[in-house]
Structure 1
Amino acid sequence: MQSNESVSKSRRKVLHITESFGGGVTSAINSYILNSSQHEHFIFASVRSNDATGEESIGAARGIRLVPRKLSSIVELKRYIDEVAPEVIHLHSTYAGFLGRLLPFVPPARTIYTPHGFAFLRQDHPVALALYRLIEKLLARRTAVIAGCGLDEKNIANAELSHPATTELINVCDELPVVDTIRSQTDKPVIGMVGRVSTQKGYNFFAELAANCGDIAHFKWIGGGSADAVEVLQQSGVEVTGWITRPQVIAHMQGLDVYFHSAAWDGFPISVLEAARLDLPVMLRRIGPFVAEDLVTFASPAQAAQEIRAWLAGSPVALERALNNTARIQNHHSVENLQRALDQLYDRF
């Protein structure tokens, strides 16, 4: 039995900082907090209004400070760090990782960085990608630990950034809200994707997939984005829900027959974990996080369309592939694995 003194020594104040509070980052941070509740957690964040899920002001954090997305909020960050006096500062996403590691009052020896998708993996101009990679290499020197949200981010940190302290911080799906199922008004099987309608989430890939298979399936995008991007989806026959709360997201997901994740780059997405938690057949675009875990993936809309047609035709091989993805995700991304990873991560400090 541990003494009170040893328990006290193991308790840390952890300050989570992100510029992109909303969507999957919100779910990930709340999951880390819930699964390391022996520590005191605080959040300093700005919320992207288009990504708001309704979870931004709830959760198990002891304190939450939400600020506008302005450079002037850096002054408020300094005040909050002085107020909380954290032993650990956990930076989430590219922009928070960039600014947080540049600021002189954020001590590198206490800093953890979780990219939630490295910027240099984006589909962008080669010069921009080279710049992103260079910045990440330089800022890695001001980082105690790079905690990739998945095996792929850990491998990338090792290979691309040569950082001496990297770890896999396994994303998991915590308890889902109990909600009534929302089905689309269609007799066709429904294939869905969750996320912001953006280049990162691969809306063009999903639109092309819908155009290829719209005769046999109904496609739904659960989320919102710019009017132009949403129009591309709608012109391909995709139903777009717009931004909705997380309970509504789960209600729509429960009404899917297949979950297809079309992102062009990503960490290991919470939405994929939620789909697996709901026992949905899972199909995936070929990107690093999924390849790293030996999941079945598809490189092009044409390949994905062929698999969907086979699945809908009752192909035992296609059915097995999708359900094996679901089972492998459930087994690896367990609460026990996450709690073990968080214990080892925060106990470094």
Structure 2
Amino acid sequence: MKIVHVVECFAGGVFSFLSNLTNELDKEEYIVIYGINRDNTPSDFREKFPSNTKFIPWKSASRSLNPLTDLKALWELYIILKKIDDIDIIHLHSSKAGFLGRIVSFLLGKSSRTIYTPHAISFLRLDVSPKKRKIFIWMERFASFFGGKTVACSQSEKEAIEEQGIKNVTFINNGIKPLQIEKKENISNKITIISVGRLSIQKNPKLFNDIASEFKDNPNIKFIWCGDGELKSELISQNIKCTGWIERKELENYLTNADIYLSTSLWEGLPLSVLEAMSIGLPVILSSCVGNRDLVEDNGVLYIDKIEAVKNINELLKNKIWINKKGHNSKIIVENNFNMRNMAISYLNIYKGMKS
């Protein structure tokens, strides 16, 4: 099959998802139309994809809403797709590509072969005003009239989309390849709590800082944030270590020496960083947002606010057996429900069904 992926945000979790999916289904032919205006796109991105992948820059695409720029990006995408012969599937990723791409697919008569994966749909964002979120809802509803199938990254994201009256929605859980490392046994009385990701409003580092500050007088607990970003300055509590962006092996070393994964996210699709932590046996304490809710069974807890998070951590500090048991359950949950191969086969089945 010739599968065309269209993505404006060619970075972060969306990039990892796309790289993993194409490598897992490496027998197909791929064309990736990608936005070039993201600072954190890996410089070696071509090496992360199968050798039979072709890349076409989408120069006009940008994250922000701008009618003139977006109209230019729509026309550019139309010209690019029109020149590609024998397309079997068009797979759109994230909100900007999802909105413009569905319109273009309709104009080209390819709606029946178009899939849209939001990767944390735009109207879940809490870093914009209620008025702007209403605009995002309207845009998603409007784009849905142009056809195509929406495939959410988790059941809770699917439910959030359907609550807005949008139809023809299904979900495929994000999947990962479990990290090939083992969590080190902690025989000390010290606890390390870790989080991984970009220091942005979505990840809510202020809450991470506020939680950590409640334990600043406890020498037996420390907090680590692996990542960097525009809100790094919000991590000011003295018991937090911020590593900045680090190499993969160094990140894995931090994870193996951690005891608990803490997410303070305001919204998610289904976070790959949490899945990776779970895959090596870390129990989780996750904010109760879309995406996170799908990851907690008997492997940790969800919390609503700082008070509840602090209470949960204090309870864990008294019970090392709980930490080990819940961590073991995390590994089983990833193996059973968030396996990369299962995710890839599910997408392949959708591709084949839409092609036939």
TM-score, length-scaled by structure 1: 0.83
Q: Which position in structure 2 is the counterpart of 1:70?
A: 60
Q: Which position in structure 2 is the counterpart of 1:110?
A: 113
- Which of 302, 305, 308 is the aligned partner of 1:303? 308
Query: C-alpha distance in 2, partners of 1:20/1:270?
Result: 16
Matched position secondary structure for 1:89: strand
Q: Which position in structure 2 is the counterpart of 1:264?
A: 266
Query: C-alpha distance in 2, partners of 1:115/1:272?
Result: 18
Query: C-alpha distance in 1, partners of 2:109/2:248?
Result: 32
Query: C-alpha distance in 2, partners of 1:106/1:249?
Result: 45
Q: In 2 relative to 1, CA 297–54 (structure 1 residues): closer, same or farther, beyond 3 Å?
A: farther
Between 112-121 and 34-43, report the one with greater CA deviation: 34-43
Counterparts of 1:107-186 in structure 2 under 5 Å? 107-123=110-126, 124-163=128-167, 165-174=168-177, 176=179
Counterparts of 1:1-349 in structure 2 under 5 Å? 12-46=1-35, 49-53=38-42, 56-57=45-46, 58-60=48-50, 62-65=52-55, 67=57, 70-71=60-61, 77-78=77-78, 80-81=80-81, 82-83=83-84, 85-103=86-104, 104-105=107-108, 107-123=110-126, 124-163=128-167, 165-174=168-177, 176=179, 188-214=190-216, 215=218, 216-226=220-230, 229-235=231-237, 237-292=239-294, 295=297, 296-314=301-319, 316=321, 320-321=325-326, 323-349=328-354
Query: C-alpha distance in 2, partners of 1:178/1:53?
Result: 24
Query: C-alpha distance in 1, partners of 2:98/2:241?
Result: 35
Query: C-alpha distance in 2, partners of 1:290/1:277?
Result: 15
Q: How many residues align?
A: 331
Query: C-alpha distance in 2, partners of 1:254/1:53?
Result: 25
- The answer to whether the 8 A contact 1:15-1:88 is kept is yes
Q: In 2 relative to 1, CA 63–339 (structure 1 residues): closer, same or farther, beyond 3 Å?
A: closer
**Amino acid of the residue matched to residue 173 of structure 1?**
I
Matched position secondary structure for 2:261: strand
Q: Which position in structure 2 is the counterpart of 1:3?
A: none
Matched position secondary structure for 1:116: coil
- The answer to whether the 8 A contact 1:16-1:44 is kept is yes
Q: Any stretches of 5+ residues in structure 1 without a counterpart? A: 1-11, 182-186
Q: In 2 relative to 1, CA 73–160 (structure 1 residues): closer, same or farther, beyond 3 Å?
A: closer
Matched position secondary structure for 2:138: helix
- The answer to whether the 8 A contact 1:53-1:245 is kept is no
- The answer to whether the 8 A contact 1:190-1:256 is kept is yes
Q: In 2 relative to 1, CA 166–35 (structure 1 residues): closer, same or farther, beyond 3 Å?
A: farther
Query: C-alpha distance in 1, partners of 2:147/2:51?
Result: 23
Query: C-alpha distance in 2, partners of 1:116/1:105?
Result: 25
- The answer to whether the 8 A contact 1:223-1:240 is kept is yes
Q: Which position in structure 1 is the counterpart of 2:67?
A: none
Q: Which position in structure 2 is the counterpart of 1:9?
A: none
Q: In 2 relative to 1, CA 208–143 (structure 1 residues): closer, same or farther, beyond 3 Å?
A: farther
Query: C-alpha distance in 1, partners of 2:190/2:58?
Result: 43
Query: C-alpha distance in 2, partners of 1:336/1:190?
Result: 31
Matched position secondary structure for 1:160: coil
CA RMSD of aligned residues (A): 3.0
Query: C-alpha distance in 2, partners of 1:251/1:48?
Result: 32
Q: In 2 relative to 1, CA 31–247 (structure 1 residues): closer, same or farther, beyond 3 Å?
A: same
- The answer to whether the 8 A contact 2:102-2:148 is kept is no
**Amino acid of the residue matched to residue 305 of structure 1?**
V
- The answer to whether the 8 A contact 2:283-2:323 is kept is no
Matched position secondary structure for 2:49: coil
Matched position secondary structure for 1:102: helix
Same amino acid, percent of matched pairs: 25
Q: Give 4+ residue runs of structure 1 displaced > 6 Å after superposition.
A: none
Query: C-alpha distance in 1, partners of 2:308/2:152?
Result: 29
Q: In 2 relative to 1, CA 149–61 (structure 1 residues): closer, same or farther, beyond 3 Å?
A: farther
List per-residue Cα deviations over 1:233-259 (Å, max 9, x = no partner). 134643222233444433432332221
User: 1:107 Cα shift?
Assistant: 3.3
**Amino acid of the residue matched to residue 31 of structure 1?**
N
